Structure 1
């Protein structure tokens, strides 16, 4: 495939606005592209206009390597603040600008093109490559959860997720949990608060108890660092001279094995139960998002193959590191058998979700070659 065609494919999928949805348009584009090169695909419907895509090449005689990328992007914000329109991919000074250029349509496109080129080159692949292109990674890893529950990851021997890592390879990341706590009170005039129940005050009781727990946590993980908690969204009341009858808070937690998801759920439940036993306190806690920490083998075949392939292509040695964020790996690791996972793709995480998001074109095209080499080397090993 010519370099301009490689670049045009990426431009085409950046130009599809798949903000927290509409991924089926991307799946349709990629499915048609693969079909033109004799590669079959299957759409896995999640909801209206939302479908993941599964595709395979190889003879399936040896190992199975999974390649995964998500098709959704985060909101572009105010397009007037962008130098170039966020959904009109723009090439400038060796960079390609647009929402999703780095997170993570460049990684997804590079994986698809690597599969196509290996097929067109009639490379002998003594094993199978499985593409898992997902919906809803940015808002709950929805597609990865569905594909895993339906068995699409059960035959994998290794998985590469093409998130912008670069140039590094991530082999572990923290878990992530989101919650909403709702405080129910009673309206009253602010001049007579004794006739009401202040939902904001009771919400503050919950927040203070959580922060006491957070301060008491001394455990850390030598690779991932500290457990963290942040209150990120808060709302309550409807006018300044009324006692509020409703208040809500949302928070995000990044977990480590030493302070894991189950422990957090137990601690928070005890806090709510304790406060609800007090007079005029009524709190309701809902867990909106619950993703496990991911730990893979730093010395796995796929990690070493990835390092060697990047050094061969780019002439640069890269490190194996950990990430504070979370990825679709948190769902895929729930498959029936264990397999090593690495997060390795074009782009740098620092530009993800930012205005004027971009990917370096050379990095993108380098990663196509890197993925091809990784596929060949991984499937060649017994």
Structure 2
């Protein structure tokens, strides 16, 4: 790519900075908490059609993925084809973004209302600006600029805007079931415009311990389910620590562990004056890049079984381990491959250098990588602001992401 070509393309993208920020702000004004994505799905579909894109809707209703989902009849993926639908022999590159956002929480904690899409101080504010409507806005406008220029790209771009990523990943599973795997995929999660070439995965779980209720004046007549659960908690923590100690990867060297373990919910008992007869904890285990999720699940299951082997109450009151939903696989993409090389070059053209890193947040990228698809995570926004009050993204960062995408696509072989 000559300097003149780079500057010409940059000038066109720079002229769309306002359009990117406005598109993001408008999308934030369509609240889309998981299960209620319809308004923003319609918004994006209308935007694509207005710009001459071919659009396909993929309803969740009537599919094999609907059984465990809510509000099935109102939910659909939006698939966009800026250069038309792929033909036999075309190599496609998917840009994946999720339509849903997490709940906004207490409105009083926000400086700006979470769904007003306020633009102030060079930033767009609101729920979903970081995770991940900002990445979607940058990619849509970048692809539209390339479409208008009729760029002769060697990979045909396809956009997957999917439902349900924040809970189950059902939207990406649906999209992949309805088409051949792409030649490459970029998931637009917030990375601060760093290039993620390796990602650890996760599997949600629930562990339940049972006991026997008794009046608190005679607790020795009962079996304390919480005490039994805390033994299981310590076992899982020790198992996770051992797995972390045995995992080393250069892209995760800056974090305490690349395979985080967390218990997010702990519940026990029904009344303050009773020995708890039931207790449970819910959380996540980490999965190494390329690790078979079944191997990780077995490591924790075996450790729990060993921990209660001598518990006299286990026979009549067995613990229960449940794996919740499908795993988010860990994955890794070659940094010398065509996709990573193209995005490194795109970042060099925009910023002078590329930052490569690992990612510990579960996301839909693993679903593409599990099919052997070269996959990256790349997008604007600070991950630490995702899911928080006062979530916001810098408009300048949106523009840098759009510039990077256009340059990367032009040099992708």
TM-score norm. by structure 2 comes to 0.84
Native 8 Å contact 2:20 2:398 kept in 1: no
Separation in structure 2 between the aligned mates of residue 172 and residue 87 of structure 1, nearest angstrom: 33
Native 8 Å contact 1:276 1:283 kept in 2: no
SS in 1 for 2:261: strand
Distance 1:204 1:129, change over 3 A: same
SS in 2 for 1:20: coil
The range that moved more, 189-198 or 234-243, is: 189-198
Structure 1, residues 263-292: CA drift from partner, whole Å, max 9, x if none? 331133234444277432321111114221
1:371 and 2:405 matched: yes
Separation in structure 2 between the aligned mates of residue 19 and residue 72 of structure 1, nearest angstrom: 5
Native 8 Å contact 2:240 2:285 kept in 1: no
Separation in structure 2 between the aligned mates of residue 215 and residue 340 of structure 1, nearest angstrom: 30
> 1:172 pairs with 189, 193, 198, which one?
198
Separation in structure 1 between the aligned mates of residue 104 and residue 59 of structure 2, nearest angstrom: 25
1:55 aligns with: 80
SS in 2 for 1:368: helix
5+ residue gaps, structure 1: none
1:238 aligns with: 270
1:340 and 2:374 matched: yes
**As a proportion of its length, which structure holds more strand?**
1
Give the Å deviation of 1:78.
1.0
1:66 aligns with: 94
Separation in structure 1 between the aligned mates of residue 310 and residue 162 of structure 2, nearest angstrom: 44
1:207 and 2:243 matched: no
> 1:89 pairs with 113, 117, 131, which one?
117
Structure 1, residues 210-261: CA drift from partner, whole Å, max 9, x if none? 2343344441222336444222210111222211111111122222259753
2:7 aligns with: none
Separation in structure 2 between the aligned mates of residue 292 and residue 245 of structure 1, nearest angstrom: 35
Separation in structure 1 between the aligned mates of residue 129 and residue 225 of structure 2, nearest angstrom: 43
Separation in structure 2 between the aligned mates of residue 103 and residue 4 of structure 1, nearest angstrom: 20
The range that moved more, 345-354 or 260-269, is: 260-269
Distance 1:316 1:347, change over 3 A: farther
Separation in structure 2 between the aligned mates of residue 258 and residue 32 of structure 1, nearest angstrom: 38
Distance 1:216 1:361, change over 3 A: closer
Give the Å deviation of 1:49.
2.8
1:324 and 2:350 matched: no
SS in 2 for 1:35: helix
2:208 aligns with: 182
> 1:5 pairs with 6, 11, 19, which one?
19
TM-score norm. by structure 1 comes to 0.90
2:184 aligns with: 158
Native 8 Å contact 2:78 2:161 kept in 1: yes
Distance 1:369 1:258, change over 3 A: closer
Distance 1:57 1:155, change over 3 A: farther
Native 8 Å contact 2:53 2:80 kept in 1: yes
Separation in structure 2 between the aligned mates of residue 172 and residue 135 of structure 1, nearest angstrom: 24
> 1:249 pairs with 281, 304, 309, which one?
281
Separation in structure 2 between the aligned mates of residue 259 and residue 364 of structure 1, nearest angstrom: 33
Separation in structure 2 between the aligned mates of residue 299 and residue 2 of structure 1, nearest angstrom: 32
1:219 and 2:246 matched: yes
Distance 1:134 1:213, change over 3 A: same
1:312 aligns with: 349
Separation in structure 2 between the aligned mates of residue 258 and residue 45 of structure 1, nearest angstrom: 31
Distance 1:124 1:213, change over 3 A: closer
**Alignment map for 1:135-154 (pairs within 5 Å):** 135-148=163-176, 150-152=177-179, 154=180
Give the Å deviation of 1:122.
2.9
5+ residue gaps, structure 2: 1-14, 61-71
Give the Å deviation of 1:311.
2.7
Separation in structure 1 between the aligned mates of residue 162 and residue 309 of structure 2, nearest angstrom: 40
> 1:78 pairs with 106, 126, 140, which one?
106
SS in 1 for 2:347: helix
SS in 1 for 2:362: coil
1:114 aligns with: 142
SS in 1 for 2:151: coil
1:134 aligns with: 162
**Alignment map for 1:276-295 (pairs within 5 Å):** 278-281=311-314, 282-289=318-325, 290-295=327-332
